[in-house]
Amino acid sequence: MNGVSDWILGGVTAVLAVIGLYVASHAHDEVGYYGGLLFFLFAVGLIFFQIKRGFDRRERELNHH
**Per-residue pLDDT tens over the stretch 8-41:** 999 999 999 999 999 999 999 999 999 999 999 9
Write down the pLDDT at residue 34.
97
Instruction: Please state, in angstroms and rounded to a whole number, the distance separating the CA atoms of residues 2 and 57.
Output: 9
What is the structure's pLDDT at 3?
A: 76
Q: What is the pLDDT of residue 61?
A: 87
Going by C-beta distance under 8 Å and a sequence separation of 6 or more, which residues neighbour residue 44? 17
Q: Which of 60, 7, 14, 59 is nearest to 40 (CA)?
A: 14
pLDDT of residue 45: 96
